[in-house]
Copies of this chain bind each other. A is one copy, B any other.
Amino acid sequence: MIVVMKPSASQEMIDRMIRRVEELGMKPHVIVGVERTVIAATGLERNGVQAELEACEEVEKVMPILAPYKIASRETRPEPTVVTAGSLTVGAGTIGVIAGPCSVESEEQIMQVAAQVKDAGATALRGGAFKPRTSPYAFQGMKEAGLELLAAAREATGLAVVTEVMTPHHVDLVCRYADVLQIGARNMQNYHLLQAVGETRTPVLLKRGPSATMEEFLLAAEYILDQGNRDVILCERGVRTFETHTRFTLPLATVPYLREKTHLPIVVDPSHGTGIASLVPAMSAAAIAAGADGLIIEVHPNPSKAVSDGAQTLTPAAFEATMQTCRRIAEVMGKTMQ
């Protein structure tokens, strides 16, 4: 931790800070510059220490040196984590594709789309049974009946089921049906939920919050990992910026950046990331070229009749064409895709 003192800091204030650093269990190194004094504190950077030292009047700023996440860090585990859940494998050269409707709507719909995405090359089925909706008046999902239909679709196609869990007391229920628990973007910092899924041994797909930094994203993963569940898939799904021509801004540099920082696999959601179906094929291809370990894509037999998210949903035909391009790009990248 680097503590930059104000130019006006007296020797007494500097001495006080040196003692404070020692009290905090770190070793102070004092560097007297022309304009100001800097104290480098080595040793464990206990969480909260930065804010604490910044609260001292004579301090200009405090700069941490170490990353605050540990288990998620590539420094602790250099080799990539591979997450396997039934038919889905993600990581270390194997690309997984999770496809399906935003919401489970009916048996006919989910059975039909499951078969279609499987044929096109998907390796898992997505579908929302519990739906977080901005408005209390919007369709909130089929709930347990939706989970049952997802399980039936798995039975019929062999596809692993990825579905969202929204609150701690649903975790047991959703675990009974799902192969992968999805944590939605709005819940990325719902810590009780993170701990609850961390206590299971079901793999988790953790979506990045729309204004989460990389550090917050990895610390959210750390909440899950710290409970003992090591099967976490990170998902970039777009961030909120001043851009309004797309629903969110999809920053694909997340993929190579996270690759340097963590061993966890990274998938991309071009459907939410753009909000516009016509942009999804290009951004799916771009995600694979950027090095993603997988995709999660919304597909519906008839997008304009979908109960939610129709505008960003591919038809089965568009999904199949997208898969063909992605497969060829995966090959260029030296990766395996079904």
- Write the residues of chain A forming the contact surface with B, with a CB cutoff of 8 angstroms: 2, 4, 7, 29, 31-36, 38, 40, 42-44, 47-48, 51-57, 63, 65-66, 68-69, 75, 132-139, 166-169, 186-187, 189-193, 209-211, 213-216, 219, 222-223, 226, 239-246, 249-253, 255-257, 260, 273-274, 276-279, 281-283, 285-291, 303-311, 313, 325, 328-329, 332-333
Inter-subunit contact A245/B135 (CB<8 Å): no
Inter-subunit contact B303/A55 (CB<8 Å): yes
Residue of B nearest to A250 (CB): B253
Inter-subunit contact A65/B36 (CB<8 Å): yes
Inter-subunit contact A56/B287 (CB<8 Å): no
A93 and B295 alpha carbons, distance in the complex (Å):
27
CB distance from A322 to the nearest CB of B (A): 11
CB distance from A252 to the nearest CB of B (A): 5
- A226: chain B residues at CB < 8 Å are 136-137
- A304: chain B residues at CB < 8 Å are 52-53, 55-57
CB distance from A55 to the nearest CB of B (A): 3
Residue of B nearest to A273 (CB): B253
Inter-subunit contact A65/B48 (CB<8 Å): no
Known: A33-B65, A273-B253. A167 touches B192 (CB 8 A): yes
Instruction: Please list the 8 inter-chain residue pairs (A to B) with the smallest Cβ-Cβ separation, ordered nearest first.
Output: A55-B310, A211-B211, A289-B289, A33-B42, A256-B282, A167-B192, A54-B311, A286-B290
- A244: chain B residues at CB < 8 Å are 213, 244
- A286: chain B residues at CB < 8 Å are 252, 286-287, 289-290
Inter-subunit contact A132/B310 (CB<8 Å): no
Inter-subunit contact B75/A7 (CB<8 Å): yes
- A2: chain B residues at CB < 8 Å are 2, 38, 40, 63
Inter-subunit contact B241/A255 (CB<8 Å): no
Inter-subunit contact A48/B332 (CB<8 Å): no
Q: A35-B66, A55-B313, A241-B242 are in contact. List 10 more A-B contacts (CB 8 A).
A: A29-B29, A47-B137, A52-B307, A186-B190, A253-B273, A253-B279, A253-B282, A285-B333, A286-B286, A289-B329
Inter-subunit contact B256/A242 (CB<8 Å): no
A56 and B135 alpha carbons, distance in the complex (Å):
22
A-B contact pairs, 26 of them (CB 8 A): A38-B42, A47-B138, A52-B306, A54-B311, A55-B306, A57-B304, A68-B134, A69-B135, A133-B191, A134-B215, A137-B226, A166-B191, A166-B192, A167-B167, A167-B192, A187-B189, A209-B211, A241-B251, A242-B242, A246-B257, A253-B273, A256-B278, A256-B281, A257-B279, A289-B289, A332-B332
Known: A55-B303, A55-B306, A245-B213. A289 touches B278 (CB 8 A): no
- A214: chain B residues at CB < 8 Å are 243, 245
Residue of B nearest to A63 (CB): B63
CB distance from A246 to the nearest CB of B (A): 5
A138 and B75 alpha carbons, distance in the complex (Å):
21
- A252: chain B residues at CB < 8 Å are 250, 252, 282-283, 286
A276 and B214 alpha carbons, distance in the complex (Å):
15
